[in-house]
Amino acid sequence: MNSLASARRSWQLGCVLRLRRGLTLIELVVVIAILGILGVVIVSTTGGSSAALKSDQERINEVASELDLLSRAIAFFEPTKTAISFKQTVGVYPSRLSHLTGGITTAKQNSCGTNYTSGQVALWIGGYYTRELPGFNLEDLLVRSPVNANAQQHGTLAIVIPNVTLSDAQLLDQTVDRDASATAATVRFAPDDGSTPVTVSYLSAIGGC
């Protein structure tokens, strides 16, 4: 009887141990599965964010490059090189972007608000800038500061880009000026109160009309 009871207790203990061992393995498998799922979610989330950030930076890099080309088409002046800009060929700065591609007449005005002369009209060669700025719509009017300038006065000429998200404006400012203050150097935007969208101004230094 004692041996039978002992065998029964051993069998019961073995069952309990097997049950406990089985539950432990199941729990371990569940934990591993949960950790695996969490790992996939974390990697995909951070990877997606990095890809989106990289895509935004690449897009803004392209915009910055195009704005530089457009600015050069308007105001670049280098006497030792072939004339490629409106300023270098016509002799004055345009008041509108459409003057780069659509021609000028004596009824149209330069950046100082005076009419083009017939001689300046004859110097216009066209096709100064025929590309498009990816993802942005530019205002046709170029904004000169100071407004009431004369032929000897220096100032700035701004390419105006309305309805830009604050994040894009800050990234463009950081890319071009290495600064996101909104009020320094080439790229400026307003309002500067954290609201969105904003209007971006891309400035070129100019002298005269």
- List pLDDT tens digits, range 2-34: 555 555 555 555 554 444 555 566 666 665 666
In this structure, what are the phi and psi dihedrals at residue 3, rounded to the nearest 5 degrees? -65, -35
184 band by pLDDT with thresholds 50, 70 and 90: confident
pLDDT of residue 43: 45
Which pLDDT score is estimated for 132?
A: 81
- Residue 195 lies inside a defined structural domain of this protein: yes
Domain residues for the domain of 141 are 25-206
Q: Do the domain assignments include residue 155?
A: yes
Q: What is the pLDDT of residue 47?
A: 47
Which strands sit side by side in the sheet containing 187-190, from one edge to the other? 143-145, 154-164, 198-207, 187-190
Q: Do the domain assignments include residue 2?
A: no
Domain presence at residue 6: no
pLDDT-based confidence at 53, cuts 50/70/90?
A: low
Whether 1 is covered by a domain: the verdict is no
The answer to whether residue 84 is domain-embedded is yes
Of 107, 188, 179, nearest in space to 145 by CA: 188
- With respect to residue 56, please indicate whether it lies within any of the assigned structural domains: yes
Instruction: State the virtual CA torsion across 127, 131, 133, 134 in degrees, nearest 10.
Output: 170
- pTM for the model stands at 0.70
Question: Which amino acid does the sequence have at 120?
Answer: Q
**In the structure, what pLDDT confidence band is assigned to residue 158 with cuts at 50, 70 and 90?**
very high
Q: Could you give the number of structural domains in the chain?
A: 1
Q: What is the pLDDT of residues 60-84, one digit of tens each?
A: 999 999 999 999 999 886 655 666 8
Q: Does the structure show a pLDDT above 70 at 91?
A: yes
Q: Evaluate whether residue 173 is within a structural domain.
A: yes
The C-alpha atoms of residue 157 and residue 182 are separated, in whole angstroms, by: 17
